[in-house]
A = this chain, B = another copy of it.
Amino acid sequence: MYLANPTQPKAVTTADKVFEQIQHAIVEGDIASGSKVSEPELAKYYQISRSTLREALNRLEKCHLIERKANVGSRVVDCTIEGLLELYITREALEGMACRQAALNMSDKEIVDMKAMLKAHGQTQELKDGVAYYQEEGDLDFHYKIILGSHNKQLIDLICGQLYHLVRMYRCQFGMNSPRASRAFNEHFQIIQAISDRDGELAEMLMRRHIAASRKNIENKIAQQKLTEFNDKK
């Protein structure tokens, strides 16, 4: 599963391309979360100079996929439960506000397009019920469109340019394939309705609940996993 980020400018320079490759590798877990990143090693692997690689690393740091310490080096961020919850709390704040702004700033055409998209998703969902794969893609599409609809560069950059890389990483690595597809779909529908009514306050509230529900869902799932592990040990 890999979905392009609609706000990410297409790669022109080699540093850009290598950045995208490493980004992909980290998100998908091919480069283990928490592992150290060796500059000479990676430079050799991608057949580029260290300068170019460092440029790529800088971009990875910008979207919070790696962390650097002076004179020591870079590490891939490690996926922890605390980190995941912190991420979702931040999403709740930012996407909630983005949704409010979208209700105020989206053009009528944008709203029509979103409704059409959601309708299309609803139909494929009926066909492929239970198969969360496409729904997953649809979910991200939905969120991206609302964020872009806020017409707020600051919000767009923070959420799409930074948070969502991490969101995708956690989704991949914790194997969260949207176990609540139909409920999420209904929530999406309500949100669109609020935006369509230009009700910013309600739109923000619904989006916050939507993300909070997702967070609680994860918390439960993890608690369940721990329980299973505990039982397996016995």
Q: A interface vs B, CB < 8 Å? A: 12-13, 16, 51, 54-55, 58, 61-62, 64, 70-71, 83, 86-87, 89-90, 92-94, 96-97, 101, 152-155, 157-158, 162-163
Closest to A156 in B: B86
Q: Which residues of B contact A54 (CB under 8 A)?
A: 55
Closest to A92 in B: B97
Contact A86 B158 (CB under 8 A): no
Shortest beta-carbon distance, A202 to chain B, in Å? 16
Most chain B CB neighbours (cut-off 10 Å) among A62, A71, A89: A89
Q: How far is the CA of A7 from the CA of B163 in the complex (A)?
A: 20
Closest to A16 in B: B70
Q: Which residues of B contact A163 (CB under 8 A)?
A: 154
Contact B13 A70 (CB under 8 A): yes
Q: How far is the CA of A67 from the CA of B71 in the complex (A)?
A: 26
Contact B13 A89 (CB under 8 A): no
Report if A152-B86 is in contact (Cβ < 8 Å); known contacts: A58-B58, A62-B61.
Answer: yes
Contact A90 B13 (CB under 8 A): no
Q: How far is the CA of A61 from the CA of B157 in the complex (A)?
A: 12
Shortest beta-carbon distance, A72 to chain B, in Å? 10
Shortest beta-carbon distance, A229 to chain B, in Å? 26
Contact B101 A97 (CB under 8 A): no
The 7 closest A-B pairs by CB, nearest first: A93-B97, A58-B58, A90-B154, A86-B154, A93-B93, A12-B70, A86-B152
Contact B155 A89 (CB under 8 A): yes
Q: Which residues of B contact A101 (CB under 8 A)?
A: 89
Contact A155 B86 (CB under 8 A): yes
Contact A158 B158 (CB under 8 A): yes
Q: How far is the CA of A61 from the CA of B162 in the complex (A)?
A: 13
Q: How far is the CA of A54 from the CA of B152 in the complex (A)?
A: 28
Q: Which residues of B contact A86 (CB under 8 A)?
A: 152-155
Contact B51 A90 (CB under 8 A): no
Q: Which residues of B contact A157 (CB under 8 A)?
A: 64
Q: How far is the CA of A92 from the CA of B90 in the complex (A)?
A: 12
Q: Which residues of B contact A70 (CB under 8 A)?
A: 12-13, 16
